[in-house]
Amino acid sequence: MDLNHNLGREEARRRIAGNIGSLPEHLPGNVADVAHRWEGDTLKLTLGAMGQEVLGDIDVREDSVHVTVTLPPMLALFAGAIQAALNRKGSDLLLEDRSDD
């Protein structure tokens, strides 16, 4: 899914990098572990949730952020809820400017 923004690639990347540490607080399923690394302008995520591994890519573009989440079969039942949550709060969670916090 795509989250549109008007920040430019560099500012969007900076904000995502600054917000990624708070990601577990916003996710259901008792996320126990979040590992992340940048590959160019793509943030690669690995989340440990409910004994399962969830993979995600956040591709930062000039005017949007493309989010891809790969769920294991056991968690596929939650795909609709995850997509709805990203539609509702994804831009706030990923792109909010928290540099003054």
The model's pLDDT over 56-95, given as tens digits with 9 standing for 90+, comes to 999 999 999 999 989 888 878 878 887 887 777 777 767 7
Q: Which two tokens stand for residue 77?
A: 């039942």
What pTM was computed for the model?
Answer: 0.81
DSSP state of 8: -
Q: How would residue 26 be classed by pLDDT, with cut points 50, 70 and 90? A: low
Average pLDDT, the chain: 84
Model confidence at 101: pLDDT above 60: no
Residue 96: predicted pLDDT: 81
Report the pLDDT value the prediction gives residue 30, as an integer from 0 to 100: 63
